[in-house]
Amino acid sequence: MSLKRTLVGVVRSHEGTSDRAKDPKMKTRYYNLSRDKAWEEVSSTLKKVPGFKVLHEVPSVGEITMEKRTGFGRTIDITVSILSVTPVRSAVDIYSASRGSLGDMGANYRIIIQLFSILDKKLAQYKVHS
């Protein structure tokens, strides 16, 4: 992780992915799966990730809410969104925010990278390479 990312983490306590992210690791992931199939795969995969707790799922909206407790006792809230791009392609975005007023020292960034690496490994055969 870069020094810049750590310095940004001193003051910022949230991170999210998007199509316009400058960091390639923080770009929206696309998979050649229908939204329903992507939902099944992503939901079942995230439920098995150690250290994370799935709090709420809304299949009709395509949103999964999770939380993770850090070693320092802070709670991090994570929202995973699964969107339909076409009938056979879906997009996955992740937003992570730390509870509390201080920065996260890059923890949200690392959590998003960790979750995307798990999803990319599980859905490798469907991943769309940009």
State the Cα–Cα distance between residues 27 and 59, nearest whole angstrom. 23
pLDDT of residue 105: 78
Judge whether residue 63 has pLDDT over 60. yes
Which structural domain range is residue 73 located in?
3-126
pLDDT of residue 102: 74
- Length of the chain, please? 130
Judge whether residue 70 has pLDDT over 80. yes
Domain count, the chain: 1
Task: Determine the 3-state secondary structure of 109 from DSSP.
Answer: helix
Residue that wins the pLDDT comparison between 116 and 71: 116
Confidence of residue 2 (pLDDT cuts 50, 70, 90): low
**Dihedral of CA 109/72/102/92: which sign?**
positive
Which residue, among 62, 118, 71, 66, has the nearest Cα to 91 in the 3D structure?
62
pLDDT of residue 80: 98
Q: Is the pTM of this model over 0.85?
A: yes
Instruction: Please write the tens of the pLDDT for every residue from 3-57.
Output: 665 555 566 788 999 999 988 999 999 999 999 999 999 999 999 999 999 999 9
State the Cα–Cα distance between residues 11 and 2, nearest whole angstrom. 15
pLDDT of residue 10: 60
pLDDT of residue 73: 83
Q: What is the CATH number of the domain that holds 56?
A: 3.30.530.20
